[in-house]
Amino acid sequence: MTYCVGMLCRNGAVFLSDSRTSAGMDNVTMRSKMRIYEKPGDRVICIMSSGNLSLTQATLAMIDDDLVLGDGDPRKKHIMNRQTLYETVRYIGSKVRTVEKRDRAALEADGFAFNINLIVGGQIAGMAPEVHQIYPQGNSIHATRDCPFLQIGEAKYGKPILDRGFTYETDLCEAVKFGIVSLDATIKSNVSVGPPVDILCYETDSLQVSKRMRLEKDDPYLAEIGRKWQDGIVKLVNEMPAADFGKPALGYASAA
């Protein structure tokens, strides 16, 4: 399992992913779920993945092959020559479909689901930043001002934090904090999600990767965020009014 989140802000976009990969209790490894393609001054594209590792690696391998074989040839489609981010997403979705046609039958014959989800985001020069999610069928949705974040993997633990505090108007610096807290909550509650945590904070129209970091398990900043988040919850609960058990409970009859 994994957890990745893409967050769309007025001033850019933030991408966060964990790095834990598991195939049963005895086979746990660390692999980055984030891949970044950059052409300074032209585009920055971030891909995050969840699901069957062989499927995500096969999809990314096809994308990389096209880029190597088609670099310099405008007739050859690849991830760095699509005119819009939506075209880029459609191109990546076509690779998911290619892998599906090749591998689904063999996987399902042995009881494995065709499981791959991707978050693709970034910016192409002259256009606004975007964040999209690609499903196993190759189709996609995108984040909006009203629904400014998308998640893949083990999403339920980190979603309430984003629902309550993060909006399209959130400052990029604060968005990074919300994302780390969302990941911390997931790591705390699910052993299949864990550090290192990869973070890309992309500022609108920068068209380059300038704010990227990896937080290891023992990183002091990651530990401080987790500690302050936990202490803050306890403090808020202590400050809340106590339940009034003196009031009659509606719907309950008193015992004779």
* Domain, as residue range, for 210: 3-238
Residue 72 lies in a domain: yes
Question: What are 33's two structure tokens?
Answer: 């779920």
Residue 99 lies in a domain: yes
Question: What are 132's two structure tokens?
Answer: 């999209």
What is the C-alpha to C-alpha distance for residues 13 and 203, in angstroms, rounded to an integer? 7
Residue 255 lies in a domain: no
pLDDT tens digit string along 39-48?
999 999 999 9
Close Cβ partners of 222 (under 8 Å, ≥ 6 residues apart): 180, 184, 195, 197, 215, 216
Collapsed DSSP state (helix, strand, coil) of residue 172: helix
pLDDT tens digit string along 157-176?
999 999 999 999 999 999 99
DSSP state of 156: T
Q: What is the pLDDT of residue 247?
A: 75
Q: What is the pLDDT of residue 120?
A: 98
Residue 61 Cα distances to 52, 80, 112, 159, 206, angstroms: 14, 15, 21, 31, 27
H or E segment to which residue 158 belongs? none
User: Can you give the pLDDT of all 256 residues of the chain as single tens digits?
Assistant: 789 999 999 999 999 999 987 655 555 677 899 999 999 999 999 999 999 999 999 999 999 999 998 776 777 899 999 999 999 999 999 999 999 999 999 999 998 889 999 999 999 999 999 999 999 999 999 999 999 999 999 999 999 999 999 999 999 999 999 999 999 999 999 888 989 999 999 999 999 999 999 999 999 999 999 999 999 999 999 999 998 888 776 666 655 5
Residue 56 lies in a domain: yes
Residue 125 lies in a domain: yes
Q: What is the pLDDT of residue 57?
A: 94
Residue 131's DSSP bridge partners are 121
Q: How many domains does the chain have?
A: 1
Q: What is the pLDDT of residue 158?
A: 95
- Do residues 17 and 197 make contact, with C-beta atoms less than 8 angstroms apart? yes
Q: What is the pLDDT of residue 255?
A: 57
What is the C-alpha to C-alpha distance for residues 112 and 97, in angstroms, rounded to an integer? 17
CATH assignment at residue 226:
3.60.20.10
Residue 161 lies in a domain: yes
Please report which residue ranges of 112-203 form alpha helices under DSSP H: 159-165, 172-189
Residue 251 lies in a domain: no
- Do residues 132 and 121 make contact, with C-beta atoms less than 8 angstroms apart? yes
